[in-house]
Amino acid sequence: MRWAQRCCWRNALLRGPVILRRRRLLYALALAQTIASAPFPGSYKERFHDPDPICPAVYRPVFLPTMNSQFLKSKTFWSCVAVLAAVALVGAFVLMWRPAIAPIERPTVFDAGQLQRGARVVEAGDCAVCHTRPGGEYLAGGLPLVTPFGTLYSTNITPDAQTGIGEWSLPAFDRAMRQGIARDGHFLYPAFPYVHYRRMSAADIADAYAYLMSGPAVHAPAKQNQMNFPMNIRPLVSFWNLLFLHGEPLTPMAERSEAWNRGRYLVDGPGHCAGCHSPLNLIGAEKSSGYLQGGSVDGWNAPALVGMGQRANPWSREQLVGYLRAEVVDGHGTPAGPMRPVSLSLARLPAGEAEAIAEYLLSLENQHSVTETTATTQPANPADQTSGALLFSSACAGCHAPAAPMREIDGRPGLQGTSALQAASSRNFLKTVLEGVPAIPGSPGPVMPPFAASLDNAQLGALAAYLRQQARPDQPWADLSSTIDALRQETK
């Protein structure tokens, strides 16, 4: 399954004080330069060639004075080099070294109430979505996460002493959740969404810890990651953290309702929604300006979560709650792809949690007025329309035609109003047809078979063009065939 393969790389909170951080870095560099250049001859002004005597190094860093060969041989020079090297070493040490936290004997006595709360936190945090591989033991890791920087494998978070977190104390677990440092002091990759988890309450983290430690220990050694150079050097994550790791545990806003605050906590904390639903920058951190404005994951579009109530096909509170709980919602459909396991997790939580999330999300207004229109409006191809109609009747109609048996029996949705067909991009529609909605052993549907092997590219294109024509006759999808080609390549 590929739905979760990239999901968590995206989980890097980057918003608010980033500019401040960058400036702080600049200050630090300038300061280092000032210290390093202090023993040089010449006046302050000469050294910096700067007309502003107040704080030239900060605002306009300049480079070291021209060096002649005599100076290069001098003691002063070499002592400068030594000081610089020492500063760099100390800096690197402070930045990249984290102590191990002493191993403990796995706790054996737990409070029943805490375990119950912890199970909910683990569900809300979608831990099992990444930490359980298909066909694998619960939380024993091994799911590949394909990132632009290489492939990672999720680790075993069962309480096995050798291969899991059995020797982790609560402070070690808390440090991992908030700072991305493993018990033995190594840096975890930000695919693990510690930038979001650090916003959780201490009580929730303690409850999750108790729940995880109470589970069955599974011996499952971590699979070797295949990260590309230089990201295979873990200490380099410290630089990433320097730029992007910030944010305190969320505190309720007094002027907002309890449900709204709960929703914000779930969305920004354990749920780490922005991990997929915000755009990412070049080094895999969420863009500060794009909070919940839509991203992409595993070839799917993760739609914007702002302005959901003000769209062409707006979401009502009831629709959003149902959707978040994996139901088939009239007018929007049901979650597929990477959102499916997330919604199934939410469905296992009390209904109030999804209601709180809906309350919060529907309060977010779209500041940037993202237009939901496609650029081109080329007329629909009549041959595609005919063959699309035939394909629909032979492959889809049993579940999705008006008065189809499966609509009557089990509530399959009509397709016209679904978010996938209404969206500006054809990706989510095509991905749903290619991959379907998989069956879960022992659970009722909805189930949709994958059509990747049943339909060829031309058929898929004709079907998409036909259904889009039904749903949005004014805006046919452009580039259908190239999108289909790209999706086929991605799933190979």
Partner 1 sequence: MSQITLNVNGAAQALELEPDMPLLYALRNHLNLNGAKYGCGLGQCGACTVIVNDQPVFACLTPCAGLEGKKIRTVESLGSAEKPGPLQAAFIEKQAAQCGYCIAGMLMRAQSLLEREPHPDEQTIREHMAGNLCRCGTHLRIIEAIKQAAGHNGSLT
Query: How do strand 295-297 and strand 144-147 relate by DSSP bridges?
Result: unpaired
CB of 458 to partner 1, least distance (A): 7
Q: Identify which of residues 79 and 481 has a Cβ nearer to partner 1 in the complex.
A: 481
* SS3 category, 100: coil
CB of 336 to partner 1, least distance (A): 15
C-alpha dihedral (287, 290, 295, 301), degrees to nearest 10? -170
Q: What's the rounded Cα separation, in Å, for the pair 105 and 473? A: 65
Q: Identify which of residues 90 and 458 has a Cβ nearer to partner 1 in the complex.
A: 458
CB of 227 to partner 1, least distance (A): 26
CB burial string 429-442: b at 16+ within 10 A, e below:
bbbbbbbbbeeeee
CB of 446 to partner 1, least distance (A): 10
DSSP state of 145: E
CB of 397 to partner 1, least distance (A): 9
Cis peptide bond N-terminal to 61, omega within 30: no
Q: Which residues contact partner 1 (rule: CB under 8 A)?
A: 134-137, 387, 390-391, 393-395, 398-399, 405-406, 438-441, 445, 447-449, 451-456, 458-459
List, in sequence order, every residue forming a beta bridge with 181; answer none if it has no partner. 187
* SS3 category, 227: strand
Q: Identify which of residues 168 and 451 has a Cβ nearer to partner 1 in the complex.
A: 451
Q: What's the rounded Cα separation, in Å, for the pair 12 and 199? A: 12
Distance spanning both ends of the chain, measured CA to CA: 12
CB of 338 to partner 1, least distance (A): 17
Question: Per the structure block, which two tokens stand in for 317?
Answer: 């509170």
Q: What's the rounded Cα separation, in Å, for the pair 146 and 230? A: 16
Q: Identify which of residues 139 and 448 has a Cβ nearer to partner 1 in the complex.
A: 448
The CA-based angle 336-338-341, given to 5 degrees, is 80
Cis peptide bond N-terminal to 159, omega within 30: no
Q: Identify which of residues 134 and 314 has a Cβ nearer to partner 1 in the complex.
A: 134
Q: What's the rounded Cα separation, in Å, for the pair 47 and 44? A: 5
CB of 119 to partner 1, least distance (A): 21
Q: Identify which of residues 26 and 390 has a Cβ nearer to partner 1 in the complex.
A: 390
CB of 399 to partner 1, least distance (A): 6
Q: What's the rounded Cα separation, in Å, for the pair 372 and 304? A: 11
Query: How do strand 150-153 and strand 226-227 relate by DSSP bridges?
Result: antiparallel
Q: Identify which of residues 227 and 447 has a Cβ nearer to partner 1 in the complex.
A: 447
C-alpha dihedral (304, 241, 152, 484), degrees to nearest 10? 30
Q: Identify which of residues 52 and 456 has a Cβ nearer to partner 1 in the complex.
A: 456
Question: Per the structure block, which two tokens stand in for 32?
Answer: 């280092």
Q: Identify which of residues 70 and 394 has a Cβ nearer to partner 1 in the complex.
A: 394
Alpha carbon separation from 168 to 155, 218, 382, 466 (Å, rounded): 14, 15, 64, 56
CB of 491 to partner 1, least distance (A): 11
DSSP state of 132: B
Provide the CB-side half-sphere exposure for 316 (13 A, CA). Answer: 6
CB of 456 to partner 1, least distance (A): 4
Q: Identify which of residues 105 and 408 has a Cβ nearer to partner 1 in the complex.
A: 408
CB of 204 to partner 1, least distance (A): 29
List, in sequence order, every residue forming a beta bridge with 300; answer none if it has no partner. 297
CB of 346 to partner 1, least distance (A): 21
Q: Identify which of residues 356 and 415 has a Cβ nearer to partner 1 in the complex.
A: 415
Q: In 3D, which of 153, 169, 150, 154 has the Cα closest to residue 236?
A: 150
Q: Identify which of residues 128 and 227 has a Cβ nearer to partner 1 in the complex.
A: 128
Sole residue written with tokens 């022992």: 442
